[in-house]
Chains A and B, each alone.
Chain A
Amino acid sequence: MGIGWLEVVIATLFVSIVVSLILARGRHWLEPSFWKVAATITSSVMVIALILLSVDTVRKVSVGSKRVPHPSVINKEIGYVYNAERMAMEPVFGKEVGLFGKVWSPEEAEKLITKGKLVIQSRNCMDCHTLLGNGAYYAPDLTKSWLDPKWEKQLVPVTGARSKEDAMKLFLMNPDKYPTWVRRMPNLKLTEEEAVAVVAYLKWMSAIDTNGFPANFPEVKVSQADQ
C-alpha cells in the first residue's frame, strides 16, 4: 500500500474541518462550545491518523524489512551510493565477506545485534554522539560510522590492526589511547565481546535506509552484488 503525504494532509484537514463544522452548526463561532467541538474533532482525527500511520510504519521498519535489513546483513559488504532516480543516497549490499573473520548465522547475528544495542544503551553513547542524527552534539554522528574513511586511513595504521573491524574494536576498548583530536572519547571499559557487538551494530546501522541522511557522504561502492 503506497501512502502519499499530500493525501494524508488533505484528508486529515478536510475531515477535521467538515466534521467540526457539521457538529458545531448552530453555535456562534465566539462561543467556547464551538471551539470545544473543533478541538475534540481535530485532536481525534489527528490521533487516528497517527495510529494508522504508525501501524504502517512499524510494519515497514521491522527487522528483515527492506528499510531495516535482517542482522545477518553484517556478513555482507555494505556500501552507500547516490541513487540518481531517487535523488538521494542509499545503502547497497555486495558479496558475503563476513565480520571478524567469520560468517555469522542468522541466530548468531541477531544475538550479537541485541548485545550491541544493550552495550550502546548501557554506555550512554547518545549523550555525546548522535545515532541516526539523534543524541548529543559533542562527538560525530554514528549513522554511517562503519563506512567512515577515517577507520582505514588513520585508525588501522595507529592501532596496528589487520582489518577495519579489528581497528574499530581496539579503538572502542581503549579510546583514550587513540586520541583523534582534543576531545577524547573516555574509556568506557568495553570488554572484547562488547566491542565486537558494538562494531557489528554499527555495521548493521549503516545498512538502514535513512532516506539519504547523511547527504553528501563519500560514496562507498560494493563489488558485484550476489543477491
Chain B
Amino acid sequence: MERLYESQKLALWYFWTAILLFGAQVLFGLIAAYQFINPDFLYGVLNFMTNRMLHINAMVVWLLMGFIGGIYWFLPVETGREVVGIRLGKLAYFAFVGAVVIVVLVYLLKQFGSGEMLTLWFITEGREYIEAPRWADIGIVAVALTVAYNVIATTLASKKITGILGVLIVDLAALFGLYLAGMFFTPNITVDQFWWWWVVHLWVEATWEVLVGVLMGWLLMHLLGTPRKIIEAWLYVEVMLVFGTGILGLGHHYYWIGTPEYWLGIGGFFSSLEPLPLVAMVVHAVYDAGVHKLQTVNRPALFWAFAQAFGNLFGAGVWGFMHTLPQINLYSHGTQMAAAHGHLAFFGAYVAANLALFYFILGKTRVKEGYILNGTPWRIAYVGLIISMFGMVAALTVAGFAQTMIERATLGSTWDAYIQAQMHPWMEEAFRWRMFFGLFFALSYLILLYDLITAGRRVEQVKEAKVAG
C-alpha cells in the first residue's frame, strides 16, 4: 500500500458516490421497466417520465463522477506531485453532490412546472439526457472547469507534459466546451435538436470515448506494466479513429430532424466506421491477455478492462451499426432498437471502465505488496452483471425488431400502429424478459456492492491472497 495523495482520497469519494448513484440508476430503471408491464404502478405518483429521467440522469452523473475520480487518481501519479488546486477540487466535489441532491429532490417532489422560462431554470429543461435545470448546468460547468483547471495547472507545475496528459487536456476542453451547446432555449425544434446532439453525441461517441481511452491507458500501464510508448501510440491511433469517424458520425442523428439530406450520406458513411477504433481496442486487449496469461495482482480490474473492450465493441459498435444506416434507420429510429443499443453501449464502454478503475484503486488502497486482489463475490457479480445485461439487451432487441417491423414498416407509424405493436406478444413478452433480467442485474449489483465494500478486507480473501502471493 502506498501513501495516498490528497487527490487520490478525493478520487475515492468520487467513486463511492458514483457507485451509490449506480444503485439509484438500477432502482429507477426497475420501476420504469415494471411500468411497461403494469402501467398503473405508481401512475400519477411517480410517472414513467420521472423514473426514466432519473434512470438516465443518474447514469450520466455517476459515469462522469467515476471519470473525474479516475482523473484525480492518476493525475498525481502521472505528474509526480499533489494536484495544484486540491482544495478547490474538494469544494467542487461537495458542490457537485449538493447540486445532485437538490436536482433529484426537485425531480421527485415537483416533477414538472408550467410553461415558462422559470421552469427551465429551476425544475427541468425538459430535453432528454440533459434535463437538469439551467442553474445546475451552470454548476456542472463550474465543477468541470475546476477539474480542467486542476489538470492543466498540475501539468504546468510538474513542468512535463506527457502524451497522455496532452490528449486529456484537449479532450477535457472539448468535453466541457460542448456542454455549453446545450444551454439555450429556442422555439425551433430542429435547431434545438441539432445543437442538443452536439452535446449528447459528441460526448458519448467522441470525447467520452477518448477520455476512457486515456483512463484505460493509465490503467493498463499501472496494472500490466504496458510500456508508455505502446500506450501512447495506441492512444493516438484511437484518437485519430474516434474523432476521425465520430465527429462527422454525428450526422446519423441528423437524418430525420429537419436537417438537409446530405447528412444521410455523411452520417451513414462515418458512423458505419465508428466501430473501427473499438475493434482496435479489442485486438489490443486480446494481445495483452495473451502476453500476461490473464495473471495480475488485480483480477477484477483486469477482467473488467477486458469486459470494457468487448462490451464497447458489441454495445457501441455492433448494436450501433445495426441501425445506423439511413436505409434501416428510417424505420428503426425512435424504437426499442435504440434502447437495446443504449443499454449495451453504456454498460460496455463506460460502466465496465469505471468498475475496472474502481477495483484498481481498491487494490492499491487495500492490498499489501505481494498480495493479489481476488475472491469469489466479484466473479459472481461480474458474470451476473454481464449475463443479465445481455439478457436485457436481447429482450430489447427483439422488441426493437418487432416494433420496427410492425409499427413502422407495416402499419405506418401512426398512434394506433404504435399501440398495436406494443400490444403484440413479441413486444409484451420482451418487456417481461427485460424485467426478469433487470431484477437479475439488480441482484448482481448488490453482490458487486458487497464485494466493493469488503474486497481486500475479508478474512478468507487475505488467506487466499497469501497462498497466491
Task: Say which size band chain B's interface belongs to.
Answer: 35 or more
**B49 to A215, Cβ gap below 8 A?**
no
CA distance A42 to B237 in the complex (A): 11
Whether a CB of chain B sits under 8 angstroms from the CB of A117 is yes
In the complex the two chains form, is B236's CB within 8 Å of A36's CB?
A: yes
A212 part of interface (Cβ distance < 8 Å): yes
Considering only CB atoms, which chain B residue lies closest to A148 in the complex?
A: B415
* Distance between B315 CB and nearest chain A CB, rounded to angstroms: 18
Interface residues on A, range: 35 or more
B36 interfacial contact with A, CB 8 Å: yes
Q: Cβ of A197 < 8 Å from any Cβ of B? A: yes
Cα-based distance from A144 to B239 in the complex (angstroms): 40
A18 to B438, CA, bound (A): 49
The residues in A between 113 and 132 inclusive whose CB is less than 8 angstroms from any CB of B are 113-128, 130-132
Tell me the smallest distance from the CB of A85 to a CB of chain B, in Å.
13
User: In whole angstroms, how far apart are the Cα atoms of A191 and B113 in the complex?
Assistant: 12
Tell me if A36 and B44 are in contact (CB < 8 A). no
Majority DSSP secondary structure for residues of B touching A: helix
For the complex formed, measure the closest distance between the CB of A216 and the CB atoms of chain B, giving whole angstroms.
Answer: 5
Which of B131, B334, B336, B416 touches A134 (beta carbons < 8 Å)?
Answer: B334
- Is A121 a contact partner of B48 (Cβ separation < 8 A)? no
Query: Do the beta carbons of B187 and A113 come within 8 Å of each other?
Result: yes
CB of A213 within 8 A of CB of B415, answer no
B158, CB-defined interface residue at 8 Å: no
The residues of B that contact A72 with a CB separation of less than 8 Å are none
- Which residues of B196-236 have CB atoms within 8 Å of chain A's CB atoms? 229, 232-233, 236
B103 within 8 A of A: no
Q: Is A138 an interface residue (CB 8 A)?
A: yes
Is B13 at the interface (CB under 8 A from chain A)?
no
Mask, A134-168, CB within 8 Å of B = 1, is: 11111111011100111000000000000000000
- Nearest B residue to A143, CB-CB: B256
Chain B residue nearest to A140 (CB atoms) is B418
Check: A133 CB closer than 8 A to any chain B CB. yes
A132 & B193 in contact (Cβ 8 Å cutoff) = yes
Report B310-361 residues with CB < 8 Å from chain A CB. Answer: 330-331, 333-336, 338-339
B261 nearest in chain A by CB position? A211
- A224 is an interface residue with CB less than 8 A from chain B: no
Asked if A32 meets B117 with Cβ closer than 8 Å, knowing A61-B190, A215-B330, the reply is no
Q: Which of B1-9, B91-99, B147-155, B243-251 contacts A (4 or more CB under 8 A)?
A: B243-251
Stretch at the interface among B61-69, B122-130, B370-378, B442-450: B122-130
- Taking A123-B126, A132-B258, A133-B333 as known contacts, 16 extra A-B pairs with beta carbons closer than 8 A to each other, sorted by chain A number, are A5-B265, A38-B237, A43-B244, A57-B254, A57-B259, A57-B260, A60-B259, A61-B190, A121-B124, A123-B115, A124-B53, A127-B131, A128-B49, A180-B419, A183-B39, A211-B255
Interface residues of A (CB under 8 A from B): 3-6, 8-9, 12, 16, 30-32, 35-36, 38-39, 42-43, 46-47, 49-50, 53-54, 56-58, 60-63, 67-68, 71, 110, 113-128, 130-141, 143-145, 148-150, 176, 180-184, 186-189, 191, 194, 197, 205, 208-218
